[in-house]
Structure 1
């Protein structure tokens, strides 16, 4: 199923849920229209989640929440627009964690994501998977780790580019495991997948690998994050394999310009927490191809700070820090 198909299914399910939820009492909100900036092109996972959240919040508050896509510069153009917006509740940001924790280390982004944006709540995460080419003689993560240690510098891995989340997470993983491998950057995830299928590269860590794993075209090895994937119950997490610090998952979180009134922040956080317990809302997210994962604003802030600090050190070691 493509992302576009997932989006259509999720929107259809969201519309049905909206009809049922319309009767609930809506809370007051300080403005009539709220723009949720999604700093990516339409049709991706972030855009899908942004529209689901916009619909949900429109049902809970006396305001119309709409999505505006502002892509470019790995998401930092839209994020800066949100950071510079009035802190009156009229602008929110649906962003991935890389904008906050990785991008500022790689290039000048024109603002301080940790200081100029405040965390409201995390909504979901996009799972990624470590997979190997069928030509690599391994069937699980333990065999992969052993093979890599026994064949230093002989394996290649692909990513969508130097400094991408997949690249950084893979280098972090290899350093923890003690494997030397060669990085081959590509211009897009589809090209990386084809390289794994052809054996030009031996492994990759990316969400784009999951459909190929479902078709048994690649060998699934492990997933970053806290939980195993429901449709791959036999594939362990990297934490279970002994590497809990390697995340590599893409969060989808709601942020706002710093200085937004506390009562507005509290109301939004409470609404998203309540939504996270709703089977209807979580089902819509699952249909969209993401995993529901609620985190409070304070927990999210702490997680982002820790990840920011980790990437500061890691990217310096990799020679990628600006």
Structure 2
């Protein structure tokens, strides 16, 4: 039987503790979830996007359930250290992992991890998509995706794209565009996204993939070309998607989720999906997610699982084609 994840359900359960004691130890196994503190693993340093999301969701889950949600930071190795730590915790739904689609489609292919992304880990909800904008330095003689592709075809390797490092979503976005458009670009990895952004502003590199360019596009110091995928971004509403520009199908994307181990009871996964989606529908939460720079999302448990599977397959192929996959 599935019990609603609410404060009322927990108070009812608490009132019946004496009866469960008399019924014996097996009765305690049937307590409504959650009946104790929830630990929230953040695999990155405090202050970033994952921290912002986890603080917001943690506060709302505490309000909804009456149980404390405690953030536990385990940064390092691009998220792999936190993920490996998380996989050693009990699979009872009382430990959550703040995560992105990279934990399903990128990290396990480029870093040694202690989990199988399709067998051991399950995403619970779609918190929001981070728009992967294609932005270029004003010196590039192109204002549309077709013009950018035409220029790159006529000038192989004359354009470079700056990224925050090898094997990142930005890097794989450049690999994807080269593959889809039949062009050759240079990849220049920098020490973080801010450095890559400054390089494109200074024309050391000419192309940047990611949401960080939005304010510079609005100010006219960079040119917006397109948004990867099929969703326009309200922050840059006039910018077409790559699907609208003629490149159909899947495109590299970055989205945020909360994950649990695959062996967590199915009813708890469904409860968490329902509860997180209810939180994401709250106007103040939606506003904050937009302020974080994300496109808010609502997705079923099956829908978000399919997203993870698609990204595992599509990113996996890009990673193998680029020679980035580590030996297993």
Residue number in structure 1 paired with 2:164: 160
1:117–1:256 contact (8 Å) kept in structure 2: yes
Of 53, 66, 82, the residue aligned with 1:62 is 66
Of 288, 312, 322, the residue aligned with 2:316 is 312
Counterparts of 1:59 and 1:281, CA distance in 2: 13
Residues 157-202 of structure 1: CA deviation (Å, up to 9, x unaligned) = 1111111110011111121011111111111111111111111111
Residue number in structure 2 paired with 1:270: 274
Q: 1:89 to 1:166 in 2, by over 3 A?
A: same
Residue number in structure 1 paired with 2:20: none
Of 129, 132, 135, the residue aligned with 2:136 is 132
Counterparts of 1:51 and 1:158, CA distance in 2: 31
2:129–2:294 contact (8 Å) kept in structure 1: yes
1:120-269 matches, cutoff 5 A: 120-269=124-273
TM-score (norm. length: structure 1): 0.88
Residues 20-67 of structure 1: CA deviation (Å, up to 9, x unaligned) = xxxx85443333210111111111111111111111111211311122
Structure 1 stretch 212-221 or stretch 246-255: which is displaced more? 246-255
Residues 190-234 of structure 1: CA deviation (Å, up to 9, x unaligned) = 111111111111111122222322221100111123321112111
Structure 1 stretch 238-247 or stretch 288-297: which is displaced more? 238-247
Q: 1:93 to 1:26 in 2, by over 3 A?
A: farther
Counterparts of 2:7 and 2:198, CA distance in 1: 50
Q: Which has the larger radius of gyration?
A: 2
2:162–2:199 contact (8 Å) kept in structure 1: yes
Structure 1 stretch 304-313 or stretch 167-176: which is displaced more? 304-313
Of 34, 37, 47, the residue aligned with 2:51 is 47
| Unmatched runs of 5 consecutive residues or more in structure 1 | 1-23
User: 3-state DSSP class of the match of 1:113?
Assistant: coil
Counterparts of 1:295 and 1:80, CA distance in 2: 26
Residue number in structure 2 paired with 1:81: 85
TM-score (norm. length: structure 2): 0.86
2:105 equivalent to 1:90: no
Calculate the aligned-residue CA RMSD, in Å.
Answer: 1.7
User: 3-state DSSP class of the match of 2:127?
Assistant: strand
Q: Tell me how far 1:113 sits from its aligned partner.
A: 2.5
Counterparts of 1:199 and 1:68, CA distance in 2: 40
Counterparts of 2:85 and 2:95, CA distance in 1: 9
| Unmatched runs of 5 consecutive residues or more in structure 2 | 1-5, 11-32
2:80 equivalent to 1:110: no
Residues 78-125 of structure 1: CA deviation (Å, up to 9, x unaligned) = 112222210122100110111221111112212222222122212112
Counterparts of 1:311 and 1:293, CA distance in 2: 21
